[in-house]
A and B are shown apart, each in its own frame.
Chain A
Amino acid sequence: METSHGPVEPIVQIRDLTKIYRQGDIDVTALAGVSLDIAPGEFVVLMGPSGSGKSTLLHLLAGIDRATSGTVLVQGINIANLNESELAGWRNQNVGFVFQSFNLIPVLTAAENVELPLLLTALSRSERKAQVRTALELVGLGDRAHHRPDQLSGGQQQRVAIARAIATDPALLVADEPTGNLDAKSAADVLNLLQRLSREAGKTVIMVTHDPKAASYGTRSLHLEKGEVERDVRATSFTP
């Protein structure tokens, strides 16, 4: 499928995406007809005031929520056409999630948390182990594999969460305010890591943030306002 927008085929194509929440008699429009393309390897930063629809957009393109109208194509697949269980399988293979509050399973070690999404794959035990080690080493926590979340700092927990997000080697990484609960130093580590994943591993990263400093790590920033894209800025230079 060739598009006229550029030489690279977009990994995500969003058309007229609308999400309306019905609360009693009142309709809340979270997204009002958003259209945009995201190229593979881009590091997109979603910004905008609270309630502008950033999380909603992220949820829709990551396949954990359904749009009221409009389409999301990821690698040519209209995810609205997938049923619940197909969508779950699709997420497992194509999307990695990073949350503000880490959301690791407290009873599992770092390695086990990273292994979770791999349990759904056909990989053997030893293949899973190898993949877990690679992911943990990539985030710089190879030596913390057997620590439980409560034995790790916030920044380390978030890096474990990133390792979990990349465990199945998905093309898309979505992150909703991943540095919101972190101190400046840990936040910088996490942002550097996401940047490296996009630059070196070719991951397409889509990150929601409030922090303009965090935004500077991206290759492109989208400013949302009342459910619409207000500004779409491509960075000309990368952060040192």
Chain B
Amino acid sequence: MTLASFVAKNALRNRRRALLTILSVAISCALLVTLLTLQRELTTPPESEASSLRIIARNKVSLMQPLPYKQLTQIERIPGVKQVSPFTYFGGKFRDEEATGWAQFAVDPARFRQLIIEGRITDGSYEDFIRDRNSCLLGRDTLDRYQLKVGDKLKFTGTFYPVDFEVRIAAVYQGTVDDRNCFFHHKLLDELMGGWGMAGTWYLCADSPAVVNDVINRVDATFANTSAEVRTETERAFQLSFVSMFGNVKLLTGAISLVVVFTLILVSASTMSMAIRERFRELAVLKALGFQRRELAGFILAESFALSTLGGALGIGGAWAFWNQMDVLTFGHLTLQKLTKGFMPYFEVTPRIMATGAIVAAVLGIVAAIMPMITMSRTSVVEGLKTLD
């Protein structure tokens, strides 16, 4: 036997409690890591310049309410607007699917080109897409998922819109935050709707990051007091507006993280105290045998530290696996990007967040040991021997 194996045996003597301690630390650490990841997600600025330039204007009344097509020419003339395209969520069902998890948008292909500049064309040609109003631009992920190829026909059934259509794959894109979408001609939708004359939203691109805010204000102002007022915001803000209470989420996640850490400390400290208290007599015996206070303090600390770092490793590792390896765990069926349809492109447990979690677990192991160590060193051998006697 060694001192280390002695500590290990003591730590595991009450298996159920050791397990509960480890699990409570693990769950709390996983929660903490998730909250920190969420907070990062919600506060990370757009990662590319292209996306920081993009703006979305929608009907002020509701996202479901379309906007008159004639607004296009007015927006085009606003200083600082480099490009604008209609951007209408079709939300149809593909083939015979019950529900289709990827979106179709009606756009003006010639204008849209400047709005999807991260996307590389991997198959077919964008010119072909522009030329043929019965064609579409399809994301690589969807192409691969259904084992499609350029030239294949895609059939969609409307859900919001009472129309069905079929389009030919003219080009395939890859490299955006969401490579699953299908873009088709707004003209086609307009025609099918019998000269609709409306658009779902406007998708804009500003000249430079410096003018983004001005453009937003100008677009809003242009349609103020008209029958179709708009609400304009950056693409990122638009995406995040789907996360309710965005403004307070950062504060909220911060507060919850603190509560989690605090609760974690209380829970672990009390289980640790319990574990030590029921061993007071043994600690007294060890003292009588010649073990010194600092050695016994070392045992307590090692036990507490081992349990909490084990729990931490489990929780942090679990959170990492769950969030970052979701596609691997589900054999490619699920990713968070897919789940949130690209609204959470940065939701990733980073090494930095994992390190924060590890530090919390380690500190916890130390803090939880403090009270038991103090009580142990204050108790004399004779007092300790009397307990439970």
List residues of chain A with CB under 8 Å of any chain B CB: 59, 62, 64-65, 84-85, 88-89, 91-93, 97, 99-101, 103, 105-108, 111-112, 115-117, 119-120, 164, 168
**Mind listing 7 A-B residue pairs with CB under 8 Å?**
A85-B293, A91-B290, A92-B289, A107-B9, A112-B6, A117-B290, A119-B2
B291 near A: Cβ within 8 Å? yes
Check A105/B385 contact, CB under 8 A, given A65-B380, A89-B290, A120-B291: no
Enumerate the 8 nearest inter-chain pairs by beta-carbon distance, A residue then B residue, closest first: A92-B290, A64-B381, A107-B13, A117-B289, A103-B285, A112-B1, A107-B9, A88-B292
Report the bound CA distance from A22 to B34 in whole Å: 56
Report the bound CA distance from A91 to B286 in whole Å: 11
Pairwise interchain contact A106-B13, C-beta atoms closer than 8 A = yes
Q: Taking each of B1, B286, B290, B382, which has the highest tally of chain A beta carbons within 10 Å of its own beta carbon? A: B290
Q: How far is the CB of B293 from chain A (nearest CB, A)?
A: 7
Contact with A along B256-289 (1 / 0, CB 8 A): 0000000000000000000000000110011111
Report the bound CA distance from A105 to B292 in whole Å: 17
Which residues 227-274 of B sit at the A interface, judged by CB distance below 8 A?
none
B142 near A: Cβ within 8 Å? no
Report the bound CA distance from A59 to B291 in whole Å: 17
B10 near A: Cβ within 8 Å? yes
Report the bound CA distance from A107 to B14 in whole Å: 10
Contact with A along B1-36 (1 / 0, CB 8 A): 111001001100100000000000000000000000
Q: How far is the CB of B282 from chain A (nearest CB, A)?
A: 6
Q: How far is the CB of A112 from chain B (nearest CB, A)?
A: 5
Pairwise interchain contact A108-B293, C-beta atoms closer than 8 A = no
B389 near A: Cβ within 8 Å? yes
Report the bound CA distance from A105 to B389 in whole Å: 15
Residues of chain B within 8 A (CB-CB) of A62 are 288
Residues of chain B within 8 A (CB-CB) of A119 are 1-3, 6
Report the bound CA distance from A7 to B9 in whole Å: 50
Category for how many chain B residues contact A: 20 to 34
Residues of chain B within 8 A (CB-CB) of A59 are 381-382
Residues of chain B within 8 A (CB-CB) of A84 are 292-293
Report the bound CA distance from A168 to B290 in whole Å: 11
Give the residue of B282, B288, B293, B382 whose beta carbon is less than 8 angstroms from that of A105: B282
Report the bound CA distance from A64 to B389 in whole Å: 17
Residues of chain A within 8 A (CB-CB) of B286 are 116
User: 8 other contacts beyond A88-B292, A92-B289, A103-B285, with CB at 8 A cut-off?
Assistant: A59-B382, A64-B288, A84-B293, A106-B13, A107-B10, A108-B6, A117-B290, A164-B289
Pairwise interchain contact B281-A88, C-beta atoms closer than 8 A = no
Residues of chain B within 8 A (CB-CB) of A93 are 290
Give the residue of A64, A115, A164 whose beta carbon is less than 8 angstroms from that of B382: A64
Report the bound CA distance from A93 to B290 in whole Å: 8
Q: How far is the CB of B26 from chain A (nearest CB, A)?
A: 24
Pairwise interchain contact A108-B381, C-beta atoms closer than 8 A = no
Q: Taking each of B1, B282, B293, B295, which has the highest tally of chain A beta carbons within 10 Å of its own beta carbon? A: B1
Pairwise interchain contact B290-A65, C-beta atoms closer than 8 A = no
Report the bound CA distance from A65 to B380 in whole Å: 8
Report the bound CA distance from A101 to B385 in whole Å: 10
Q: How far is the CB of B297 from chain A (nearest CB, A)?
A: 12
Pairwise interchain contact A85-B292, C-beta atoms closer than 8 A = yes
Residues of chain B within 8 A (CB-CB) of A101 are 389
Check A91/B9 contact, CB under 8 A, given A108-B1, A119-B3: no
Residues of chain B within 8 A (CB-CB) of A88 are 287, 290-292
Residues of chain B within 8 A (CB-CB) of A117 are 289-290
Pairwise interchain contact A97-B289, C-beta atoms closer than 8 A = yes
**A102's closest neighbor in chain B, by CB?**
B285
**B279's closest neighbor in chain A, by CB?**
A105
Residues of chain A within 8 A (CB-CB) of B281 are 103
Residues of chain B within 8 A (CB-CB) of A120 are 289-291, 295
Q: Taking each of A97, A103, A112, which has the highest tally of chain B beta carbons within 10 Å of its own beta carbon? A: A103
**A91's closest neighbor in chain B, by CB?**
B290
Residues of chain B within 8 A (CB-CB) of A100 are 389
**A165's closest neighbor in chain B, by CB?**
B289
Report the bound CA distance from A117 to B286 in whole Å: 8
Report the bound CA distance from A97 to B295 in whole Å: 19
Q: How far is the CB of B19 from chain A (nearest CB, A)?
A: 16
Residues of chain A within 8 A (CB-CB) of B285 are 97, 99, 103, 105
**A105's closest neighbor in chain B, by CB?**
B282
Q: How far is the CB of B373 from chain A (nearest CB, A)?
A: 15
Residues of chain A within 8 A (CB-CB) of B380 are 64-65
Which residues 342-386 of B sit at the A interface, judged by CB distance below 8 A?
380-382, 385
Q: How far is the CB of A22 from chain B (nearest CB, A)?
A: 15
Q: How far is the CB of B371 from chain A (nearest CB, A)?
A: 21
Give the residue of A99, A107, A111, A112 whose beta carbon is less than 8 angstroms from that of B385: A99
**A64's closest neighbor in chain B, by CB?**
B381
Report the bound CA distance from A115 to B289 in whole Å: 11
Contact with A along B90-113 (1 / 0, CB 8 A): 000000000000000000000000
Residues of chain A within 8 A (CB-CB) of B13 are 106-107
